């Protein structure tokens, strides 16, 4: 009965049903705890954006709502940096339409100062709940430069902001601490793979910011240490397993996390590791085998070899959760 106790212990972390906050940042912060479902962006054979395919992929999850799950488009898997501002707006519109107010939507924004400003504005106009704002691709020479970049982007909109402070600079905890004074900064995606950044932020993690671990491997360590959300590409296939994994992590049950990963997450993750470079394209091909939108990756991404498609389809059909 220990498992039942673990799940009950985390049941009070936040309400199980999502209600669109519409400007209530505190409520949105609670809504973004849980699994961040990082979706790929479907493209057509000519590499044009398949906006309707993305809408349908998001609607698939909205029709089968999983508690404590957010939809992220244009994130690490969404090929954001292959898009122009117009395509990013169309992507945001499609995601919001597909979610239909049933799931929180986070839209990626980045690519440099002016483009990031345009993209967060696109996310807000599309009706997204929050934007995931990437660090400038050219980096920053100082903590003050990084702060001013993020500050300007955050202050240009009223929707929630999840910071994505990429890079190994040791100034990030101090920059995030300063940015947390802005009312719409609600969390940060931690790319470090460890727990030092989260622990350095102390009370901000407990009372103010949602610490988002990056992927299952990082989540195994970060969720028991205080992270309250994690990103997953596998949630596209096994959202209920990802939720179970998250709940056990939030309750500090690493043994249970490892068991869920080994039995329910690792098997479907093989669509990404069948061949080097399949981190995005393997997911797309696997989704296509399940009658969802995928398409090619844009250059310079690695395309799926045709002979691998039956293997990817076999993995997807065997391990993806059924309706």
Residues catalogued as catalytic: 164, 189
SS3 of residue 56 by DSSP: helix
Q: Burial, 207: exposed, middle or buried (Cβ in 10 Å; 0-12, 13-18, 19+)?
A: exposed
Are the beta carbons of 132 and 104 closer than 8 angstroms? no
SS3 of residue 307 by DSSP: helix
Tokens of 145: 């430069």
Are the beta carbons of 219 and 227 closer than 8 angstroms? yes
Tokens of 273: 């590791």
Cα(10)–Cα(217) distance, rounded to whole angstroms?
Answer: 21
Which secondary-structure segment (H or E) carries 35? strand 34-38
Residue 236 sits at φ, ψ, to 5 deg, of: -60, -25
Sign of the alpha-carbon torsion through 238, 166, 96, 283: negative
Which secondary-structure segment (H or E) carries 281? helix 278-289
Residue 49 sits at φ, ψ, to 5 deg, of: -65, 130
Taking the chain, what is the end-to-end CA distance rounded to the nearest angstrom?
27
Per-position DSSP letters for 115-161, written without gaps between them: HHHHHHHHHHHHT-SEEEEEPPTT--SSHHHHHHHHHHHHHT-SSEE
């Amino acid at each position: 009965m220990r498992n039942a106790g673990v799940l009950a212990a985390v049941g009070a972390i936040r309400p199980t049903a999502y209600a669109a906050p519409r400007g209530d940042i505190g409520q949105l912060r609670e809504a973004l705890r849980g699994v961040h479902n990082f979706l790929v962006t479907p493209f057509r054979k000519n590499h044009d954006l398949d906006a309707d395919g993305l809408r349908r992929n998001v609607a698939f999850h909205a029709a089968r709502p999983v508690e404590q799950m957010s939809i992220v488009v244009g994130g690490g898997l969404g090929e954001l940096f292959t898009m122009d501002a117009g395509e990013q707006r169309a992507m945001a519109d499609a995601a919001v339409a597909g979610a239909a107010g049933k799931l929180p939507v986070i839209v990626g924004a980045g690519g440099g100062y002016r483009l990031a400003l345009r993209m967060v504005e696109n996310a807000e106009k599309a009706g997204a709940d929050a934007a995931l704002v990437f660090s400038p691709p050219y980096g920053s020479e100082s903590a003050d430069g990084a702060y001013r970049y993020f500050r300007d982007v955050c202050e240009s909109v009223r929707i929630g902001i999840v910071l994505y402070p990429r890079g190994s600079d040791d100034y990030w905890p101090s920059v995030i601490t300063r940015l947390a004074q802005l009312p719409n900064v609600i969390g940060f995606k931690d790319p470090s793979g460890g727990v030092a950044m989260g622990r350095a932020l102390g009370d901000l993690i407990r009372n103010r910011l949602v610490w988002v671990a990056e992927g299952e491997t990082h989540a195994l360590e970060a969720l028991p240490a205080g992270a309250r959300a994690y990103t997953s590409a596998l949630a596209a296939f096994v959202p209920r397993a990802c939720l179970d994994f998250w709940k056990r992590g939030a309750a500090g049950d690493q043994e249970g996390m490892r068991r869920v990963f080994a039995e329910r997450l690792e098997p479907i993750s093989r669509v990404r590791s069948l061949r080097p470079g399949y981190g995005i394209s393997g997911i797309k091909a696997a989704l296509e085998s399940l009658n969802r939108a995928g398409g090619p990756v844009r250059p310079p991404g690695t395309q799926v070899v045709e002979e691998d498609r039956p293997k990817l389809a076999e993995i997807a059909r065997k391990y993806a959760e059924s309706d």
